[in-house]
Amino acid sequence: MADQSLPHLILDPTANEPPTRDNPTHPSALPAAKSVKTHPTKLNSTENASIYFVGTATTILEWEGIRLMTDPNFLHAGDHVHLGPGVTGTRKTNPALDLHELPRIDVVLLSHYHADHFDQEVESSLRRSLPIITTPHAKSHLSEKADGEAFTSVYDLDTFQSMFVDITLGAKDSQANVSQKGPKSAAMKVTAMPGKHVPPGILGTLNDFLGAVPPTNGWMLELGYLPSSNDDSFQCTYRIYISGDTLLVDELKTIPERYAGQNIDLMLIHLGGTSIPGPNAPLLMVTMDAKQGVELLRLINPDLTIPIHYDDYDVFQSPLSDFIKEIEQAGLSEKVVYLDRQDRYSFEVKDYQSSLMIRA
Protein backbone atom coordinates (compact mmCIF):
# COMPACT_ATOMS: atom_id res chain seq x y z
CA MET A 1 0.00 0.00 0.00
CA ALA A 2 1.32 3.46 -0.87
CA ASP A 3 2.23 5.82 1.93
CA GLN A 4 0.91 8.91 0.15
CA SER A 5 -1.38 10.02 2.98
CA LEU A 6 1.09 9.75 5.87
CA PRO A 7 1.62 12.88 7.97
CA HIS A 8 5.06 14.49 8.04
CA LEU A 9 6.60 16.21 11.04
CA ILE A 10 9.42 18.61 10.18
CA LEU A 11 12.34 18.81 12.60
CA ASP A 12 15.02 21.44 12.32
CA PRO A 13 18.18 20.66 14.34
CA THR A 14 19.23 24.32 14.12
CA ALA A 15 16.19 25.47 16.10
CA ASN A 16 17.87 25.48 19.49
CA GLU A 17 14.88 25.70 21.82
CA PRO A 18 15.18 24.48 25.42
CA PRO A 19 13.53 21.13 26.19
CA THR A 20 11.87 22.50 29.34
CA ARG A 21 9.82 25.64 29.85
CA ASP A 22 11.16 26.44 33.33
CA ASN A 23 14.87 26.44 32.50
CA PRO A 24 15.78 28.67 29.54
CA THR A 25 19.45 27.66 29.62
CA HIS A 26 20.49 24.20 28.47
CA PRO A 27 23.77 22.52 27.55
CA SER A 28 24.75 21.88 23.95
CA ALA A 29 25.37 18.16 24.42
CA LEU A 30 24.67 15.18 26.61
CA PRO A 31 27.13 14.38 29.42
CA ALA A 32 30.07 12.29 28.31
CA ALA A 33 29.28 8.60 28.37
CA LYS A 34 30.84 6.43 31.05
CA SER A 35 31.32 3.74 28.43
CA VAL A 36 30.77 3.59 24.67
CA LYS A 37 29.70 0.23 23.30
CA THR A 38 29.65 -0.90 19.68
CA HIS A 39 28.46 -4.01 17.89
CA PRO A 40 30.22 -7.03 19.44
CA THR A 41 30.97 -8.76 16.13
CA LYS A 42 30.80 -6.12 13.37
CA LEU A 43 34.08 -4.21 13.15
CA ASN A 44 35.38 -1.25 11.12
CA SER A 45 32.02 0.45 10.69
CA THR A 46 31.66 4.22 10.73
CA GLU A 47 29.43 5.01 13.69
CA ASN A 48 27.28 8.05 12.90
CA ALA A 49 24.39 7.44 15.30
CA SER A 50 24.05 6.54 18.94
CA ILE A 51 21.67 5.65 21.75
CA TYR A 52 22.36 7.11 25.19
CA PHE A 53 20.79 5.23 28.12
CA VAL A 54 19.34 7.57 30.76
CA GLY A 55 17.49 4.94 32.83
CA THR A 56 14.15 3.08 33.01
CA ALA A 57 12.91 3.23 29.39
CA THR A 58 14.46 6.65 28.75
CA THR A 59 16.95 6.69 25.91
CA ILE A 60 18.14 9.46 23.60
CA LEU A 61 18.80 8.66 19.95
CA GLU A 62 21.19 11.02 18.14
CA TRP A 63 21.36 10.91 14.34
CA GLU A 64 21.66 13.50 11.58
CA GLY A 65 21.78 16.29 14.14
CA ILE A 66 18.49 15.48 15.87
CA ARG A 67 17.74 14.00 19.28
CA LEU A 68 14.77 11.70 19.81
CA MET A 69 13.98 10.88 23.44
CA THR A 70 11.93 7.85 24.48
CA ASP A 71 9.67 7.63 27.55
CA PRO A 72 11.12 10.48 29.65
CA ASN A 73 11.47 9.56 33.33
CA PHE A 74 13.85 11.67 35.42
CA LEU A 75 12.80 10.94 39.00
CA HIS A 76 15.47 10.02 41.56
CA ALA A 77 15.94 7.24 44.08
CA GLY A 78 13.21 7.45 46.73
CA ASP A 79 10.71 9.26 44.49
CA HIS A 80 7.29 7.70 43.98
CA VAL A 81 5.06 7.20 40.95
CA HIS A 82 1.36 6.34 40.74
CA LEU A 83 0.87 3.31 38.46
CA GLY A 84 -2.86 2.67 38.85
CA PRO A 85 -5.56 2.36 41.51
CA GLY A 86 -3.77 1.45 44.74
CA VAL A 87 -0.45 0.86 42.92
CA THR A 88 2.63 2.94 43.72
CA GLY A 89 6.22 2.40 42.61
CA THR A 90 9.35 3.70 44.33
CA ARG A 91 12.40 4.50 42.27
CA LYS A 92 15.60 2.73 43.32
CA THR A 93 18.10 4.40 40.99
CA ASN A 94 19.08 7.83 39.71
CA PRO A 95 18.94 8.82 36.02
CA ALA A 96 22.12 9.47 34.08
CA LEU A 97 21.35 13.19 34.14
CA ASP A 98 18.74 15.48 35.63
CA LEU A 99 15.77 16.74 33.66
CA HIS A 100 17.13 20.28 33.59
CA GLU A 101 20.52 19.07 32.36
CA LEU A 102 19.03 17.93 29.06
CA PRO A 103 20.38 19.45 25.86
CA ARG A 104 18.02 20.32 23.02
CA ILE A 105 15.47 17.55 22.41
CA ASP A 106 13.67 17.56 19.05
CA VAL A 107 10.92 14.97 19.56
CA VAL A 108 9.63 12.57 22.23
CA LEU A 109 8.46 9.03 21.51
CA LEU A 110 6.12 8.04 24.34
CA SER A 111 4.98 4.40 24.53
CA HIS A 112 2.14 5.06 26.99
CA TYR A 113 0.85 7.42 29.65
CA HIS A 114 2.31 5.83 32.77
CA ALA A 115 4.24 7.78 35.40
CA ASP A 116 7.37 5.62 35.19
CA HIS A 117 7.54 6.63 31.51
CA PHE A 118 6.29 10.22 31.75
CA ASP A 119 6.65 11.30 35.35
CA GLN A 120 5.04 14.21 37.15
CA GLU A 121 8.12 16.43 36.94
CA VAL A 122 8.49 15.76 33.22
CA GLU A 123 4.81 16.52 32.66
CA SER A 124 5.12 19.78 34.57
CA SER A 125 8.39 20.97 33.00
CA LEU A 126 8.58 19.96 29.34
CA ARG A 127 8.12 22.73 26.80
CA ARG A 128 4.51 22.64 25.61
CA SER A 129 5.45 22.90 21.92
CA LEU A 130 7.87 19.95 22.07
CA PRO A 131 6.59 17.34 19.55
CA ILE A 132 5.39 14.09 21.13
CA ILE A 133 4.43 10.92 19.23
CA THR A 134 2.34 8.58 21.35
CA THR A 135 -0.88 6.58 21.75
CA PRO A 136 -4.39 8.00 21.25
CA HIS A 137 -4.99 7.53 24.99
CA ALA A 138 -1.89 9.54 25.95
CA LYS A 139 -2.72 12.27 23.43
CA SER A 140 -6.14 12.72 25.04
CA HIS A 141 -4.46 13.42 28.38
CA LEU A 142 -1.62 15.58 27.10
CA SER A 143 -3.45 17.77 24.60
CA GLU A 144 -6.67 18.44 26.51
CA LYS A 145 -5.29 20.12 29.63
CA ALA A 146 -6.80 23.44 30.72
CA ASP A 147 -5.30 26.83 31.54
CA GLY A 148 -2.45 26.74 29.04
CA GLU A 149 -1.07 23.43 30.29
CA ALA A 150 -1.91 21.45 27.14
CA PHE A 151 0.87 20.09 24.97
CA THR A 152 0.31 21.58 21.54
CA SER A 153 2.22 19.23 19.21
CA VAL A 154 1.02 15.73 20.05
CA TYR A 155 0.67 13.06 17.35
CA ASP A 156 -1.13 9.79 18.03
CA LEU A 157 -0.55 6.51 16.22
CA ASP A 158 -2.63 3.39 16.69
CA THR A 159 -1.30 -0.10 15.92
CA PHE A 160 0.49 -0.21 12.54
CA GLN A 161 -0.24 3.43 11.77
CA SER A 162 2.80 5.37 10.57
CA MET A 163 4.14 8.88 10.13
CA PHE A 164 7.34 10.45 8.84
CA VAL A 165 9.73 12.69 10.74
CA ASP A 166 11.67 14.81 8.21
CA ILE A 167 15.00 16.33 9.19
CA THR A 168 15.34 19.68 7.45
CA LEU A 169 18.03 22.23 8.23
CA GLY A 170 16.70 25.75 8.53
CA ALA A 171 13.02 24.82 8.28
CA LYS A 172 10.84 27.90 8.74
CA ASP A 173 8.53 26.18 11.19
CA SER A 174 10.19 23.18 12.78
CA GLN A 175 7.80 22.41 15.59
CA ALA A 176 5.12 19.86 14.86
CA ASN A 177 3.64 21.08 11.60
CA VAL A 178 2.47 18.64 8.96
CA SER A 179 4.68 19.45 6.01
CA GLN A 180 3.86 20.07 2.41
CA LYS A 181 5.68 17.28 0.62
CA GLY A 182 8.77 18.28 -1.28
CA PRO A 183 12.37 17.14 -1.69
CA LYS A 184 13.63 15.58 1.51
CA SER A 185 16.87 14.15 2.80
CA ALA A 186 17.23 12.31 6.10
CA ALA A 187 13.96 11.03 7.57
CA MET A 188 12.57 8.62 10.12
CA LYS A 189 9.46 6.52 9.62
CA VAL A 190 7.69 5.81 12.91
CA THR A 191 5.16 2.96 13.05
CA ALA A 192 3.17 1.89 16.10
CA MET A 193 3.64 -1.76 17.02
CA PRO A 194 1.24 -3.93 19.06
CA GLY A 195 1.64 -4.44 22.79
CA LYS A 196 -0.38 -5.60 25.80
CA HIS A 197 0.40 -4.32 29.30
CA VAL A 198 -2.21 -6.61 30.91
CA PRO A 199 -2.61 -10.34 30.19
CA PRO A 200 -5.40 -11.21 27.74
CA GLY A 201 -8.58 -12.82 29.07
CA ILE A 202 -10.75 -11.76 31.97
CA LEU A 203 -8.13 -9.41 33.44
CA GLY A 204 -7.55 -7.72 30.10
CA THR A 205 -11.26 -7.27 29.50
CA LEU A 206 -11.75 -5.88 33.00
CA ASN A 207 -8.86 -3.45 32.50
CA ASP A 208 -10.29 -2.29 29.18
CA PHE A 209 -13.51 -1.47 31.01
CA LEU A 210 -11.94 0.19 34.06
CA GLY A 211 -8.98 1.81 32.30
CA ALA A 212 -6.70 1.09 35.27
CA VAL A 213 -3.59 0.34 33.16
CA PRO A 214 -3.22 2.50 30.03
CA PRO A 215 -2.90 1.04 26.51
CA THR A 216 0.66 0.88 25.22
CA ASN A 217 2.51 0.95 21.93
CA GLY A 218 5.72 -0.58 20.78
CA TRP A 219 7.48 1.20 17.92
CA MET A 220 9.30 0.44 14.70
CA LEU A 221 11.67 3.29 14.03
CA GLU A 222 13.16 3.24 10.52
CA LEU A 223 16.08 5.57 9.82
CA GLY A 224 16.86 6.45 6.24
CA TYR A 225 16.29 8.88 3.41
CA LEU A 226 13.30 10.29 1.56
CA PRO A 227 14.75 11.75 -1.65
CA SER A 228 11.53 12.74 -3.42
CA SER A 229 7.97 13.89 -2.79
CA ASN A 230 6.76 10.29 -3.06
CA ASP A 231 6.65 8.55 0.34
CA ASP A 232 7.18 5.22 -1.41
CA SER A 233 10.71 6.38 -2.28
CA PHE A 234 11.76 6.17 1.39
CA GLN A 235 15.01 4.24 1.76
CA CYS A 236 15.41 2.62 5.19
CA THR A 237 19.00 1.75 6.07
CA TYR A 238 18.61 1.03 9.81
CA ARG A 239 15.59 -0.38 11.64
CA ILE A 240 15.00 -0.23 15.41
CA TYR A 241 12.19 -2.09 17.16
CA ILE A 242 11.23 -0.79 20.62
CA SER A 243 9.04 -3.26 22.47
CA GLY A 244 7.36 -0.86 24.88
CA ASP A 245 5.82 -2.24 28.07
CA THR A 246 4.27 -5.46 26.85
CA LEU A 247 3.94 -9.10 27.73
CA LEU A 248 4.73 -11.86 25.25
CA VAL A 249 1.28 -11.87 23.64
CA ASP A 250 0.13 -13.37 20.34
CA GLU A 251 -0.17 -9.95 18.70
CA LEU A 252 3.63 -9.68 18.66
CA LYS A 253 3.78 -12.54 16.16
CA THR A 254 2.48 -10.16 13.52
CA ILE A 255 5.70 -8.11 13.69
CA PRO A 256 8.09 -10.62 12.04
CA GLU A 257 5.32 -11.45 9.58
CA ARG A 258 4.90 -7.80 8.64
CA TYR A 259 8.66 -7.25 8.30
CA ALA A 260 9.49 -10.57 6.66
CA GLY A 261 12.59 -10.18 4.51
CA GLN A 262 13.46 -6.83 6.12
CA ASN A 263 16.30 -6.78 8.61
CA ILE A 264 15.64 -5.49 12.13
CA ASP A 265 19.01 -4.13 13.17
CA LEU A 266 18.33 -3.34 16.82
CA MET A 267 15.73 -4.13 19.47
CA LEU A 268 15.30 -2.10 22.65
CA ILE A 269 13.43 -4.48 24.93
CA HIS A 270 11.49 -3.45 28.04
CA LEU A 271 12.02 -6.06 30.74
CA GLY A 272 11.75 -5.97 34.54
CA GLY A 273 8.89 -8.41 35.11
CA THR A 274 6.92 -5.48 36.55
CA SER A 275 4.52 -6.95 39.11
CA ILE A 276 1.59 -5.21 40.74
CA PRO A 277 0.17 -4.16 43.11
CA GLY A 278 3.67 -4.02 44.62
CA PRO A 279 6.89 -5.77 45.63
CA ASN A 280 5.30 -7.28 48.74
CA ALA A 281 2.32 -8.63 46.79
CA PRO A 282 3.47 -9.35 43.22
CA LEU A 283 0.17 -10.78 42.01
CA LEU A 284 0.10 -9.73 38.36
CA MET A 285 3.05 -9.35 35.94
CA VAL A 286 2.58 -6.57 33.38
CA THR A 287 5.96 -6.41 31.59
CA MET A 288 8.18 -9.20 30.29
CA ASP A 289 10.48 -11.07 32.62
CA ALA A 290 13.78 -12.63 31.53
CA LYS A 291 12.27 -15.79 30.04
CA GLN A 292 9.69 -13.88 28.00
CA GLY A 293 12.43 -11.48 26.89
CA VAL A 294 14.50 -14.31 25.43
CA GLU A 295 11.43 -15.68 23.65
CA LEU A 296 10.77 -12.25 22.13
CA LEU A 297 14.38 -12.08 20.97
CA ARG A 298 13.90 -15.42 19.22
CA LEU A 299 10.60 -14.23 17.70
CA ILE A 300 11.81 -10.87 16.38
CA ASN A 301 15.34 -12.10 15.61
CA PRO A 302 17.03 -8.69 15.56
CA ASP A 303 20.68 -8.35 14.70
CA LEU A 304 21.29 -6.95 18.19
CA THR A 305 19.27 -6.43 21.40
CA ILE A 306 19.72 -3.90 24.20
CA PRO A 307 17.67 -4.50 27.38
CA ILE A 308 16.23 -1.45 29.17
CA HIS A 309 13.54 -0.93 31.86
CA TYR A 310 14.95 -3.61 34.16
CA ASP A 311 15.83 -2.42 37.68
CA ASP A 312 14.79 1.18 38.31
CA TYR A 313 11.63 0.62 40.41
CA ASP A 314 10.76 -1.67 43.28
CA VAL A 315 7.87 -3.16 41.27
CA PHE A 316 10.44 -4.62 38.83
CA GLN A 317 10.81 -8.22 39.97
CA SER A 318 13.04 -9.68 37.21
CA PRO A 319 16.48 -8.01 37.34
CA LEU A 320 18.96 -7.75 34.49
CA SER A 321 20.98 -10.60 35.99
CA ASP A 322 18.06 -12.96 35.25
CA PHE A 323 18.09 -11.91 31.59
CA ILE A 324 21.87 -12.27 31.32
CA LYS A 325 21.62 -15.81 32.71
CA GLU A 326 18.84 -16.76 30.29
CA ILE A 327 20.74 -15.25 27.33
CA GLU A 328 23.90 -17.18 28.22
CA GLN A 329 21.98 -20.44 28.59
CA ALA A 330 20.36 -19.84 25.20
CA GLY A 331 23.75 -19.26 23.55
CA LEU A 332 22.75 -15.76 22.43
CA SER A 333 25.41 -13.65 24.18
CA GLU A 334 26.79 -12.23 20.93
CA LYS A 335 23.32 -10.90 20.09
CA VAL A 336 23.07 -8.62 23.15
CA VAL A 337 24.79 -5.44 24.36
CA TYR A 338 24.23 -4.32 27.96
CA LEU A 339 24.12 -0.64 28.89
CA ASP A 340 24.32 0.90 32.32
CA ARG A 341 22.89 4.37 32.90
CA GLN A 342 25.09 6.97 31.13
CA ASP A 343 26.42 4.38 28.66
CA ARG A 344 26.19 4.97 24.92
CA TYR A 345 25.75 2.49 22.06
CA SER A 346 27.19 3.77 18.77
CA PHE A 347 26.23 2.34 15.39
CA GLU A 348 26.22 3.08 11.69
CA VAL A 349 23.24 4.23 9.64
CA LYS A 350 24.29 3.93 6.02
CA ASP A 351 24.08 7.07 3.90
CA TYR A 352 21.76 7.80 1.00
CA GLN A 353 24.07 6.47 -1.73
CA SER A 354 24.57 3.25 0.22
CA SER A 355 20.80 2.92 0.57
CA LEU A 356 20.41 3.10 -3.20
CA MET A 357 22.95 0.29 -3.56
CA ILE A 358 21.11 -1.78 -0.91
CA ARG A 359 17.77 -1.29 -2.70
CA ALA A 360 19.29 -2.16 -6.09
- The contacts of residue 166 (CB under 8 Å, 6+ apart) are 8, 9, 10, 11, 179, 184, 186, 187, 226
Section 325-337 average pLDDT: 97
Flag whether pLDDT at 251 surpasses 60. yes
Section 52-60 average pLDDT: 98
At residue 10, the pLDDT reads 93
Section 119-136 average pLDDT: 97
177 lies in some domain: no
Domain of 226, CATH number, reads 3.60.15.10
What does the pLDDT look like over 211-247, one tens digit per residue? 557 899 999 999 999 887 788 889 999 999 999 999 9
Three-state DSSP at 304 gives strand
Flag whether pLDDT at 1 surpasses 50. no
**Entry pTM:** 0.92
At residue 86, the pLDDT reads 75
Sign of the torsion angle spanned by Cα atoms 132, 64, 4, 159: negative
166 lies in some domain: yes
At residue 174, the pLDDT reads 38
- Residues 49 and 268: their CA atoms lie apart, in Å, by 15
At residue 280, the pLDDT reads 73
133 lies in some domain: yes
254 lies in some domain: yes
Q: How much is the mean pLDDT over the chain? A: 89
Q: What order of strands is seen across the sheet that includes strand 266-270?
A: 8-11, 162-167, 186-193, 218-225, 235-242, 266-270, 304-308
1 lies in some domain: no
At residue 180, the pLDDT reads 39
310 lies in some domain: yes
Flag whether pLDDT at 203 surpasses 70. no
At residue 12, the pLDDT reads 92
Three-state DSSP at 327 gives helix
223 lies in some domain: yes
Angle between helices 320-329 and 290-300 (to 10 degrees): 50
Percent pLDDT > 90 in the chain is 74
* Domain total of the chain: 1
DSSP E strands, 279-352: 281-285, 304-308, 316-318, 343-347
79 lies in some domain: yes
Q: How confident is the model at residue 262 (pLDDT cuts 50, 70, 90)?
A: very high
At residue 101, the pLDDT reads 97
- Residues 210 and 181: their CA atoms lie apart, in Å, by 41
Q: Provide the residue range defining the domain that includes 196.
A: 8-172+183-357
What does the pLDDT look like over 3-46, one tens digit per residue? 457 999 999 999 899 999 998 899 999 999 999 999 999 876 68
Section 305-309 average pLDDT: 98
Question: Which amino acid, 153?
Answer: S
At residue 177, the pLDDT reads 40
Specify the range with the lowest mean pLDDT, choosing from 75-84, 199-208, 330-339: 199-208
